[in-house]
Each structure stands twice: as structure tokens, then as C-alpha cells.
Amino acid sequence: MSPFILVLIVILYIYEGNPIFFTQERVGYMGRPFKMYKFRTLREEGTKRKNMPVSRDTSGKETRSGKKLRQLKIDELPQLFNILKGDMSLVGPRPLPIDDVKNEAWLSNIPEHEQQKYRDWLRDRLTVMPGVTGLWQISGKSDSDLDNWVEQDYKYLNTHSAFIDFKILVLTPFLILKNKKKS
């Protein structure tokens, strides 16, 4: 993938300028913080969150190339470097931004009697290495609500195996192509 990534870097530099990469502190395996890499797809780094981090308002903020990069999921390619560094694996729950895990300010939007469920989810998902793709992404509901995300993460945590990881890896490109045809 290195030659392809290098070509993308040159193209993005020509069309978008610097910075080419978006980096963000994320929480990895056993709560270890790491810097996650992506190709920059937004004009502004910050996005207004409606419901941590499932719904984000990115309208009008994407770069010229950003929409296409996100649609094809190739904005995630720099995460291969995170895999080589040992911060991520190919398959696993998506790593959350460190602020979402530490501050838990987003919990104020959730009824108090349900907040512990989400705290448990934040803790439990750290027992496996975060991944570039996962069950939530291939479920076809990755733009849906937080409850679905939690459900898919627990399903993965309770059933993950080499076979499940292989199945997710095989299904991911098909899902990307299917989504590409829709737009």
C-alpha cells in the first residue's frame, strides 16, 4: 500500500496543501493513549457533536477531496502506520478520542439511570486492540445511534476470533463498494 499512499499524499498536497494528515489522541488497548492518523478530510478539525461520537455535523466542512476520501474509506489508510506501531489492529472496536473517554461530558445527554451502561462499555472495549474496521462498520448501521454501536461492540467482544476477524476483513471492501454505488 505504500506506493498508493505516497501517490495520495502527493495528490492531496497539490489539491489541498498542508496539513495532509489529521492526527488525534485516541484511547487504545488497556487505556493506553496513542496518536491516530487519518488523511485530513475537513477544513476545520473540530466538528460539532450531537451524540458522542456517532453523529457529527460535517456539512460544508469537507475539503474538495474529503468527501470522496471518506466515501471510499481511504481516509483511514494512514492507520496502517498505527498498526505497524502496535497501536491498532486491522479489526476491533474503533478507538475513541481521549476526551470522550476521560471527560465523559457527553454522558450529560443520557438519562442518569443509563449512564453506567456506557461507562461499562467505555471500560470493556479497552480489553481488545482497537481496529481500523470492525463489526460496527460492517453492520451497515455505523451512522446510527449510540446504542447500536454499543451492541455491536459487545457482540464483537463476546465472539471475536480469527475467523470473525477474517470475515470482517473480507466484508469491509464489499461494504465500501456497496456504499459507493448508492451515492
pLDDT in tens, 2-28: 888 899 999 999 888 889 999 999 999
Which of 73-82, 100-109, 161-170 is predicted least confidently? 100-109
Confidence of residue 180 (pLDDT cuts 50, 70, 90): low
**What element of type H or E holds 87?**
none
- Res. 44: pLDDT tops 80: no
Is 103:118 a contact under the CB 8 Å cutoff? no
Comparing 115 with 145, the larger pLDDT belongs to: 115
Q: What is the mean pLDDT of residues 117-122?
A: 91
Confidence of residue 146 (pLDDT cuts 50, 70, 90): confident
In the chain the beta strands, taken as DSSP E runs, fall at 21-27, 33-39, 48-51, 55-57, 89-91, 96-97, 131-133
- Res. 71: pLDDT tops 90: no
Q: 105 exposed, middle or buried (CB, 10 Å; 0-12, 13-18, 19+)?
A: exposed
Residue 99: all three cell numbers together: 476526551
Which pLDDT score is estimated for 174? 85
Which pLDDT score is estimated for 154? 95
Q: Alpha-carbon torsion 34, 91, 125, 59, what sign?
A: positive
Spatial distance between the Cα atoms of 173 and 170, rounded to a whole number of angstroms: 7
Spatial distance between the Cα atoms of 105 and 176, rounded to a whole number of angstroms: 32
Confidence of residue 53 (pLDDT cuts 50, 70, 90): low
Spatial distance between the Cα atoms of 40 and 165, rounded to a whole number of angstroms: 27
Which pLDDT score is estimated for 178? 73
Confidence of residue 128 (pLDDT cuts 50, 70, 90): very high
Spatial distance between the Cα atoms of 152 and 139, rounded to a whole number of angstroms: 8
Q: Using alpha carbons, select from 49, 46, 47, 24 the residue that is nearest to residue 36.
A: 24
Q: What is the mean pLDDT of residues 58-64?
A: 74
Mean pLDDT of the chain: 85
